[in-house]
Chains A and B, each alone.
Chain A
Amino acid sequence: MSTEPTTSDGDAALTPAELARARGLGYGLLSDLLSFGITESTRAAAAEVSDGLRAALEGRDPDELAADHEHAFGWVAPPYAGAYLAADRASGGDVEAGLRACFDAAGFTPDTRREGVEHLSVTLRFVAFLCGAEADARVDGEAAIAARLEAMIADALGRALAWTPVWSEAVRRAGRPFSLALVDELEGLMLSHHAALRATAASPPAPPLALPPLGLDLEDESVSLRDVAELLASPARCGAVLSRADIQRLGRAARLPRGFGDRAQIVTNLLRASGRFDQAEDILESLDSELARQADALSRPAVAHLTAPWRDRMAETRALLAEARERVRSLARE
């Protein structure tokens, strides 16, 4: 049985069935917010259920909110699992296969007309579906079924929480009020739920996250700037998320052009420009600082237990950046 949350306002605790129902509704709402952004109906619901969301919505017109949504979830950090977990940042591989297997096992048919299977909103919709079923099971007194559903929920949440902390930090760095409030609410719900499930025997612990290898050796003479950029653009390989906004910020701070293209391309441009303007060492140092900041943000207590593999990988990447910096320095001396 789940650990019931404590109440902050002195009301009676929710029953397990109510709690499951409420969580289902919560995941559903958050899935809609993540996928559609603010619409007439989600706006009213979001403002009613969350002080944080209400504050972020206050006085803002729909166009602004749509732009905020698109900026955070379309431009800065699209919430696709493969973009964070696959070495090539693409979806359609093992990550998607794993999710499909989960959905199939639960008899859930994802609606992918708007978003692909790996989009976080689809996982949230799946968890909402499971929570609804759990609530029904608890109302019907079907404890065994409820426990099986809890295990499935724990699995789905575990898969999502493997990467959402790094994603949500990228969204936070973008600093848009609505998206910030949304990831706060989302992370709060997922973490508290996951923590409650971890405390029950019915939910086996998730296997540790195995990131693909870093896969870059600076000793290799064939390594190009593009290879370094590909590494830095791949969260799974470098441990960090360098969003477009992050890259822009780094470039702007160094007054270097980034050009256009996908993230790997603009990182390539940035590195190339840093060489052209004798700022290679500076930009490598900025990248190192950025990784240090991200590692620090991921070590906060709420997520520290989930983010160790990311932080470890960032440490490896930082060592590689230090090596690169040293090479630049010695080249400059020559």
Chain B
Amino acid sequence: MTTLPQTDSFLRRLLSIGRPRAQAAADPVAAARMSSDGTARREVVEQPVFADVDVLPEALTEVRHPDGRMSRYPPPERWDDWVEWDAKAWPKKVARRYTLVPTICFNCESACGLLAYVDKETYEIRRFEGNPAHPGSRGRNCAKGPATHNQVYDPERILYPLKRVGARGEGKWKRVSWEEVVEELGAKMRESRERRLDGIVYHVGRPGEDHYANRAIKAWGVDGHNSHTNICSAAARAGYFMWSAGDRPSPDYADAEAILLLSAHLESGHYFNPHAQRILESKKKGGRLIVLDPRLSNTAARADCWLPTWPGTEATVLLAIANHLIQNDLYDKAFVERWVNWAQTLESIPEWAEDPDVKKLAKEPKTFETFDRFLKTLYRDFTFEKAAEEAQVPVARLQEAAEIIARAGSRLAAHTWRSATMGNRGGWQVARSLFFLNVLTGSVGAEGGTALNSWNKFVPAAFTNPPSFDAWNELHLPHEWPFAFYEMSFLLPHFLKEGRGDIDVYFTRVYNPMWINPDGFMWLDALRDEDKIKCHVALTPTWNESAWFADYVLPMGHSGERHDVMSQETHEGRWIGFRQPVRRVAMQRNGVEVEKTYEANPGEVWEEAELWVDLSWAMDPDGSLGIRKHFESPVDPTRPITQDEYWGWMFDNAVPGLKETAEAEGLTPLAYMRKYGAYELPKAPRRPFAQPLGLDFEPAIDTQKRVLNADGDVIGVLIDGEAVTGFGTPSRKLEMWSPTLHAWGWKEQEYAVPWPLESHVGPRQIDRAAGQMLLLPTFRLPTLIHTRSANAKWLYEISHKNPVWMHPSDASRLGVDTGDTIRVETEIGWFVDRVWVTEGIKPGVIAMSHHLGRWRLKEQGGIGAGMSNLAELDESGEDKKLRIVHGARAWESTDPDTSRIWWEDVGVHQNLTHAVHPDPLSGAHCWHQKAVSVRKAKADERHGDVYVDTNRSMAVYREWHALSRSAVDHSPDGTRRPLWLKRPLKPKRAAYDLPEKPFGR
């Protein structure tokens, strides 16, 4: 029981000290601050204020979701004028009046729907919630969606265009107008374009939109697209593509009976929300989840069957499951017979088979029965016992997984994106082995199965389609990697250092190459070199490490501050989402004229959609380069096209069914999209490959039973006597054996058919007895956004540090415990981080989330003080060292929350110490690292310290470069790359010819 305190004593003491006063609330930070050099004004974001209204709130609409959960939303008919209590004013009842504007989240590639609550009077955004009218996300969001509000009101965001005034990287900037930016950059781009067709580069992280920037690049007539695909998904794409000509899967989770995930993608943000909710639907209906991951990820924790496989052994495990299906006649023979190039595969046996018993089959009749025996012979050694031993998992659990898959039949939904495919050398064969299971179960395009992304995604056409360019950028797709999916972007600094070329105008777009790529110090050197990168323009919503080394820093909008159209393969169905600048739309609803989006956004934050129009116009003001015509208003060609005109044309003309749907509500298609923010297209066939061609002429049929038109072009394939579309592969079938790989020098068995490739970190490559370990960096905490979380206080409060996951047996061996610092040495350097001891990681493997450890070089300026380390860069020739001065700190700003930062550890930038590992075939960076040694840190090795020897960087690069098979040596037809392979932007045929003087020859 509580006793009363010594009240008398309390009162006497009070009298003795006089009246205490509470500390006055800190004054808001002054509206303007000086930048580090005092030359430019640095504006700050004011926190939003909202108007009181004297109206009672409306009732919400309750929605029951397919997985049984319920949510409540404002009914769409009230979105224009929505009144509700202000939750922050609780317990007072204060009503606020909003106009609700839908938009699309920009914080991963799922393109979930958001609904912005914009105050009708102040135009401030109260919050972002889910858009119930969005077919992909269905009103739900992960933490990253609502955190858009943090990004909009981040007090450290960049509000005005900045131009460098000191040396590059010195951190001195002046504010310039958008007009100056457009004029100066337009002139530079024109000058480059007139001289060469590979001098302008647009380097994009996650595009977050489907066509707009690519269309602009095509209009410029340059080979300028460069993406982060090779550090993200290249290997998975290569694996899927070589089977099917589709470069990514689209699983129908909701109706699946078995879901097989090579984890790290789901919980890492790729389709996290739309996929997760459908996986739960399946589980609720009895679906079983199988996860391969050496780490007990969020996904693995929900699995019915978790297989913590040693990295690099996944293909063996998948082929053991395949073998189970094959040996027990549990595979869908009708599907395989109909859709796989089995006859071609049997023909090819002498070219690659190693097993004498398989070779013998080449002499057998080319029937499906022979193919069945071929499968049974080829994969007979992939027993559960062999796979279990290699992967270090129990045999019984492998068997269980195989039985789940066998029972599910065609209802097998499978997915891989990063993880094993991007972790290991030869990871593309992991994707190929995974899709093999889809092929064997006949689940390709089946209900509850796995489709290809293009079947569940829709990209509308724009009002003009610029022609292909006649150029090939040697810095993007060099001859050594003819199968790269796609540009070898992470090797750009290595290529520049080797003297392969230079860049006139380099745009980094919402992309931070120095921080996100491996071997970041090589990027530091490249970005500083004004002879190699002559003008660097950072298009970014917030400060980042690379922008610090830019010549122009141009503030781009977040999801509620820009126009884009986006579609994703979130489920079985097709939809488009419309991202909108919500304050601009709210103003326009109130009759306020807005000409450019930066008039409505905070400060002068702009959007690329308008910037590209103005920049392209400035590049070609008289139309002589053929660029301007693609940016002219269709109504009045003497002026640039407006956003309303651009999207209005698209929605009127290029989205099937939208016009009719809009008309039914008395709206134009543009008004419909502005109101709902998303549209679900009519259902397309589940299996487009099986669609009859419906020809009105008698086609020619070749020996492979392919259907040809009068020009001899392959347009389909004959299946059961019917001419159907087939797949986009040369054979028009699913290619188990790839004639393309064969023709381009990848003839051996381990490349020819689904087969395991020896990973650089496979069990035989890591000498655990000598203290080596495997560093697994291919995951990210699900509440973070690649390099863009450092402007979202809520997300950083949830997760901000990336300790090293370590199994207790390893921790005991090294004599460390949770919280101790360790030094991890890689092939090119080392870093120091704290340990988190957990049984959730496989012994011998250490893991670190790869999206933390942000840093800045000056106390004032750069990334927010609560989200980054203050660092010192110590450079001595090729030796580079990053030392952390201090971690996160609270600071005063217009946002009172910044003074409440309670954490200090914001992680360690491990990527700096990662050597580049370009996969010899797919070109993917193979992320897993060999930890040469792991030991307890010494007294002078502080948390966050990073050391790299860039001489070693180049040495490792050369080791991997030597594994590639150049088109110069292997191209069967004098081209750089197989013509049917995808590129984000394909040049004209003539550009495919190998150069006369290939680099290095």
Are B91's CB and A82's CB within 8 A?
A: yes
Known: A8-B8, A184-B2, A185-B5. A39 touches B19 (CB 8 A): no
Are A89's CB and B91's CB within 8 A?
A: yes
B140 to chain A, nearest CB (A): 13
Are B92's CB and A25's CB within 8 A?
A: no
Are B91's CB and A78's CB within 8 A?
A: yes
Q: Is residue A177 contacting chain B, with contact meaning CB distance below 8 A?
A: no
Are B7's CB and A32's CB within 8 A?
A: no
Nearest B residue to A49, CB-CB: B13
Q: Is residue A257 contacting chain B, with contact meaning CB distance below 8 A?
A: no
- How would you classify the secondary structure of chain A's contact residues: helix, strand, loop or mixed? helix
Q: Is residue A286 contacting chain B, with contact meaning CB distance below 8 A?
A: no
Chain B residues with CB under 8 Å of A25's CB are 11, 14-15, 18-20
Are B5's CB and A28's CB within 8 A?
A: no
**Option from A22, A184, A302 in Cβ contact (under 8 Å) with B14:** A22
Known: A78-B91, A83-B91, A92-B92. A19 touches B20 (CB 8 A): no
> Per-residue CB proximity of B1-32 to A under 8 Å, as 1/0?
11111111111111101111111010000000
Are B6's CB and A28's CB within 8 A?
A: no
A74 to chain B, nearest CB (A): 11
B712 to chain A, nearest CB (A): 63
| Distance in angstroms between the alpha carbons of A21 and B5 in the assembled complex | 19
Q: Is residue B960 contacting chain A, with contact meaning CB distance below 8 A?
A: no
Are A91's CB and B92's CB within 8 A?
A: yes
Stretch at the interface among A40-48, A146-154, A231-239, A242-250: A40-48
| Distance in angstroms between the alpha carbons of A300 and B1 in the assembled complex | 8
Q: Is residue A2 contacting chain B, with contact meaning CB distance below 8 A?
A: no
Q: Is residue A16 contacting chain B, with contact meaning CB distance below 8 A?
A: no
> Per-residue CB proximity of A265-290 to B under 8 Å, as 1/0?
00000000000000000000000000
| Distance in angstroms between the alpha carbons of A78 and B900 in the assembled complex | 19
| Distance in angstroms between the alpha carbons of A21 and B11 in the assembled complex | 9
> Per-residue CB proximity of A170-186 to B under 8 Å, as 1/0?
00100000000000110
Chain B residues with CB under 8 Å of A18's CB are 15
| Distance in angstroms between the alpha carbons of A90 and B12 in the assembled complex | 38
Known: A22-B14, A82-B91, A90-B91. A41 touches B20 (CB 8 A): yes
| Distance in angstroms between the alpha carbons of A42 and B902 in the assembled complex | 20
Q: Which residues between 81 and 128 of chain B lie within 8 Å of chain A, taking CB atoms?
A: 90-93
Stretch at the interface among A100-108, A187-195, A199-207, A325-333: A187-195
**Option from A48, A172, A184, A302 in Cβ contact (under 8 Å) with B13:** A48
| Distance in angstroms between the alpha carbons of A42 and B23 in the assembled complex | 7
Chain B residues with CB under 8 Å of A302's CB are 4
**Option from A21, A45, A46, A192 in Cβ contact (under 8 Å) with B15:** A21
Nearest A residue to B22, CB-CB: A32
Nearest B residue to A83, CB-CB: B91
Are B4's CB and A188's CB within 8 A?
A: yes
- How would you classify the secondary structure of chain B's contact residues: helix, strand, loop or mixed? loop
Q: Which residues between 1 and 33 of chain A lie within 8 Å of chain B, taking CB atoms?
A: 5-9, 11, 14, 18-19, 21-23, 25-26, 28-29, 32
Q: Is residue A114 contacting chain B, with contact meaning CB distance below 8 A?
A: yes
B831 to chain A, nearest CB (A): 27
**Option from B5, B18, B91 in Cβ contact (under 8 Å) with A52:** B5
Are A91's CB and B8's CB within 8 A?
A: no
Are B14's CB and A92's CB within 8 A?
A: no
Chain A residues with CB under 8 Å of B4's CB are 184, 187-188, 191-192, 302
Are B23's CB and A19's CB within 8 A?
A: no
Interface size on A, residues (CB 8 A): 56
Are B22's CB and A41's CB within 8 A?
A: yes
B496 to chain A, nearest CB (A): 45
Known: A48-B13, A192-B4. A32 touches B91 (CB 8 A): no
| Distance in angstroms between the alpha carbons of A19 and B11 in the assembled complex | 7
Q: Is residue A80 contacting chain B, with contact meaning CB distance below 8 A?
A: yes
Chain B residues with CB under 8 Å of A28's CB are 19-20
Are A9's CB and B9's CB within 8 A?
A: yes
A64 to chain B, nearest CB (A): 9
Chain A residues with CB under 8 Å of B90's CB are 90
Q: Is residue A221 contacting chain B, with contact meaning CB distance below 8 A?
A: no
Chain B residues with CB under 8 Å of A66's CB are 900, 902
Known: A78-B91, A80-B91. A188 touches B23 (CB 8 A): no
B5 to chain A, nearest CB (A): 4
A278 to chain B, nearest CB (A): 18
Chain B residues with CB under 8 Å of A184's CB are 2-5
B249 to chain A, nearest CB (A): 32
Are A5's CB and B8's CB within 8 A?
A: yes
Are B22's CB and A92's CB within 8 A?
A: no
Known: A29-B20, A36-B23, A45-B17. A11 touches B91 (CB 8 A): no
Are B18's CB and A92's CB within 8 A?
A: no
Are A90's CB and B93's CB within 8 A?
A: yes
Q: Is residue A118 contacting chain B, with contact meaning CB distance below 8 A?
A: yes
Q: Is residue A50 contacting chain B, with contact meaning CB distance below 8 A?
A: yes
Q: Is residue A116 contacting chain B, with contact meaning CB distance below 8 A?
A: yes
Q: Which residues between 509 and 539 of chain B lie within 8 Å of chain A, taking CB atoms?
A: none
Are B8's CB and A29's CB within 8 A?
A: no
Are B23's CB and A92's CB within 8 A?
A: no
Q: Which residues between 58 and 110 of chain A lie within 8 Å of chain B, taking CB atoms?
A: 63, 66-67, 78, 80, 82-83, 89-92
Are B8's CB and A39's CB within 8 A?
A: no
| Distance in angstroms between the alpha carbons of A189 and B7 in the assembled complex | 6
Known: A45-B20, A78-B91, A83-B91. A8 touches B6 (CB 8 A): yes
Chain B residues with CB under 8 Å of A40's CB are 23
Are A50's CB and B22's CB within 8 A?
A: no
Chain B residues with CB under 8 Å of A49's CB are 10, 13-14, 17
Nearest A residue to B6, CB-CB: A8
| Distance in angstroms between the alpha carbons of A9 and B6 in the assembled complex | 11
Are A63's CB and B91's CB within 8 A?
A: no
| Distance in angstroms between the alpha carbons of A184 and B4 in the assembled complex | 7
Q: Is residue A51 contacting chain B, with contact meaning CB distance below 8 A?
A: yes
Chain A residues with CB under 8 Å of B3's CB are 184
Chain A residues with CB under 8 Å of B93's CB are 90-92
> Per-residue CB proximity of B21-59 to A under 8 Å, as 1/0?
111010000000000000000000000000000000000
Are B2's CB and A172's CB within 8 A?
A: yes
Chain A residues with CB under 8 Å of B6's CB are 8, 51, 188
Known: A66-B900, A83-B91, A187-B4. A14 touches B11 (CB 8 A): yes
B909 to chain A, nearest CB (A): 25
**Option from A39, A63, A78, A188 in Cβ contact (under 8 Å) with B10:** A188
Chain A residues with CB under 8 Å of B22's CB are 32, 35-36, 39, 41-42
Nearest A residue to B1, CB-CB: A300
Nearest B residue to A118, CB-CB: B91
Chain B residues with CB under 8 Å of A50's CB are 5, 10, 13
Are A29's CB and B5's CB within 8 A?
A: no
Known: A48-B17, A52-B5. A26 touches B23 (CB 8 A): no
| Distance in angstroms between the alpha carbons of A188 and B4 in the assembled complex | 5
Are A188's CB and B91's CB within 8 A?
A: no
Are B23's CB and A41's CB within 8 A?
A: yes
A237 to chain B, nearest CB (A): 16
Chain A residues with CB under 8 Å of B11's CB are 5, 14, 19, 22-23, 25-26, 189
Which 8 pairs across A and B sit closest by C-beta, in order of nearness? A45-B20, A39-B23, A22-B11, A32-B22, A91-B91, A49-B13, A188-B5, A25-B14
Give me the interface of B with A, judged by CB distance under 8 Å.
Answer: 1-15, 17-23, 25, 90-93, 900, 902
26 A-B pairs with CB atoms under 8 Å apart are: A5-B8, A7-B8, A9-B9, A23-B11, A25-B15, A25-B19, A25-B20, A40-B23, A42-B22, A48-B13, A49-B17, A50-B5, A51-B5, A51-B6, A82-B91, A91-B91, A91-B92, A91-B93, A92-B93, A184-B2, A187-B4, A188-B5, A188-B10, A192-B4, A192-B7, A300-B2
Instruction: Knowing that A26-B10, A92-B91 touch, tell me 4 more A-B residue pairs with CB under 8 angstroms.
Output: A22-B15, A90-B91, A90-B93, A116-B91
Give me the interface of A with B, judged by CB distance under 8 Å.
Answer: 5-9, 11, 14, 18-19, 21-23, 25-26, 28-29, 32, 35-36, 39-42, 44-46, 48-52, 63, 66-67, 78, 80, 82-83, 89-92, 114, 116, 118, 172, 184-185, 187-189, 191-192, 297, 300, 302
